[in-house]
Amino acid sequence: AQTVTQSQPEMSVQEAETVTLSCTYDTSESDYYLFWYKQPPSRQMILVIRQEAYKQQNATENRFSVNFQKAAKSFSLKISDSQLGDAAMYFCAYNRNTGNQFYFGTGTSLTVIP
């Protein structure tokens, strides 16, 4: 079974600084997709970034980038120049190429300190 582990229940970062959120996953598949979702308090979950496992290049979306280490089954999210609006729960998610289920981690609560 696929599992997604986020070992940091809470993280904090000073505004304008950089923070990295960790995610590891367990799978026997070789082709799959990984996602980071953001869930602000009492608001919708929204996609932050997506990575296809067959691509070696790390995905980047503006201030958000990932460090995808396929052999280590690690998928960390780096947020640069942190802003107050980045404060939220961040969930790492896994989806195998031929599957319909998304598997989510338990989340990391990010606090941005002004």
Partner 1 sequence: DTGVSQDPRHKITKRGQNVTFRCDPISEHNRLYWYRQTLGQGPEFLTYFQNEAQLEKSRLLSDRFSAERPKGSFSTLEIQRTEQGDSAMYLCASSEGYNQPQHFGDGTRLSIL
Binding site for partner 1 (CB under 8 A): 4, 33, 35, 37, 43-47, 50, 52, 91, 93, 95, 97-107
Tokens linked to 31? 């082709």
Nearer to partner 1, 37 or 68 (CB): 37
Q: What's the closest the beta carbon of residue 93 comes to partner 1, in angstroms? A: 8
CB closer to partner 1, 17 vs 36: 36
Our CB check for partner 1 shows the closer of 35 and 75 to be 35
Tokens of 98: 């031929």
Nearer to partner 1, 43 or 85 (CB): 43
Bridge partners, residue 103, by sequence: 94
Report the distance separating Cα 59 and Cα 45, nearest Å: 20
Q: How far is the CB of 4 from partner 1 (least distance, A)?
A: 8
Cβ 112 to partner 1 shortest distance, Å = 20
* Three-state secondary structure of 51-97: EECCCCCCCEECCEEEEEECCCCEEEEEECCCCHHHCEEEEEEEEEC
Place of tokens 């079974």: 1
| Nearest-approach distance from CB 13 to partner 1, in angstroms | 21
